[in-house]
Amino acid sequence: MENKSIEQLNDICSQVRRDCLRMVHGVQSGHPGAALGLTEYFVALFFKEMTHNNQFQMDGKGEDLFFLSNGHVSALWYAVLARSGYFGVEELGTFRKINTRLQGHPATEEGLPGIRIASGSLGQGLSVALGAAQVKKLNGDDKLVYAVMGDGEQQEGQVWEAAMYAAHYKIDNVIAAIDYNGQQIDGPTEKVMDLKNLKAKWEAFGWEVIDIKKGNDMEAVLAGLAQAKGLTGKGKPVLILLYTEMGYGVDFMVGTHKWHGIAPSDAELANALGQLKETLGDY
């Protein structure tokens, strides 16, 4: 848990967004939309809320653990890990390029510090997080396990297998979050496959559900995380419905699925970077 001000955290967000855009632009491939939308949440976790060690240990004993189920947000995770000191920021320039440790989707195969499981094929991350959370209990480790999923990912059946399991076993040391941006590759979730009342569904599965209505507002994110932490240890798993805007921070990317999986051109990158302050020095 680091003692950073809201202003400092927002400065990190601005830099991380620049990193993400430059990474995706540099290889002309990747997923900028959800990365920009989840930036506040990731920065809040890695620079404020989580107890974690950038001298990476796979077992993570005595640390809070983080699992990303919607692995296509990889650019954001890599940027946050690099800015947290897990590896040098210059390595961000290798994103998605041949011989990189920064694979298109997160992987352990190349030994990138910070990654504990491969993800990208959707629906699997919550199950993994729950297994890790149960082992924390077996090991007498009181730290928490965080998991992030996409909202489109809620269409995967395995998510609901995991949801049922967590409540049955009272896994109350996990905080899962759904990136509730209402978008998926083929369009708005309500048109592709309507999720209907997600909150009611998760509550019906036995979870404690809270909203973070302003998922791109650092103060609101921190308040929501504090609330979520307060709900742990009480016999129920905790879910955050994290309302975000895809592409947040760049005016022409915000609020549309169009930027789910395409890279900005040179001109678009210049325009976008003009909207985001360089606070920590570009890699």
Partner 1 sequence: MEKTLDLKFTYTEKKDTRSGFGDGLLEAGRQNPNVVGLCADLIGSLKMGAFQKEFPERFFQVGIAEANMIGLAAGMTIGGKIPFTGTFANFSTGRVYDQIRQSVAYSGKNVKICASHAGLTLGEDGATHQILEDVGMMKMLPHMTVINPCDYNQTKAATLALVNHEGPAYLRFGRPSWPIFTPKDQEFVIGKAWKMIEGTDVTIFATGHLVWEAVVAEAMLREEGISAEVINIHTIKPLDEEAILASVAKTGCAVSAEEHQINGGLGDSIAQTLIRNNPAPLEYVGVMDSFGESGTPTQLLEKYGLNAENIVKAAKKAIARKMSY
By C-alpha distance, which of 2, 126, 135, 144 is closest to 70? 126
How many Å apart are CA 115 and CA 127, to the nearest integer?
16
Interface pattern 70-109 for partner 1 (x via CB under 8 A): -------------------------------------xxx
If the CB atoms of residues 9 and 238 are measured against partner 1, the closer one turns out to be 238
Instruction: Quote the Cα angle for 82-152-229, to 5°.
Output: 60
| 204 is an interface residue for partner 1 by CB under 8 A | no
Q: How many CA atoms lie within 13 A of 269 on its CB side?
A: 16
Binding residue for partner 1, selected from 34, 65, 73, 225, defined by CB under 8 A? 65
Q: Quick one: CA torsion of 267, 269, 270, 273, rounded to 10 degrees?
A: 160
Can you name the residues that pair with 239 across neighbouring β-strands? 176, 209
| 68 is an interface residue for partner 1 by CB under 8 A | no
Q: In the bound complex, what is the minimum distance in angstroms from residue 125's beta carbon to partner 1?
A: 8
Stretch that binds partner 1, among 11-19, 158-166, 216-224, 249-257 (CB under 8 A): 158-166
| 120 is an interface residue for partner 1 by CB under 8 A | yes
How many Å apart are CA 69 and CA 122, to the nearest integer?
6
Can you name the residues that pair with 170 across neighbouring β-strands? none
Q: In the bound complex, what is the minimum distance in angstroms from residue 141's beta carbon to partner 1?
A: 7
* Size, binding site for partner 1 by CB under 8 A: 40
Site for partner 1, rule CB under 8 A = 58-61, 65, 67, 107-109, 116-121, 123-136, 138-139, 141, 157-158, 161-162, 164-165, 168-169
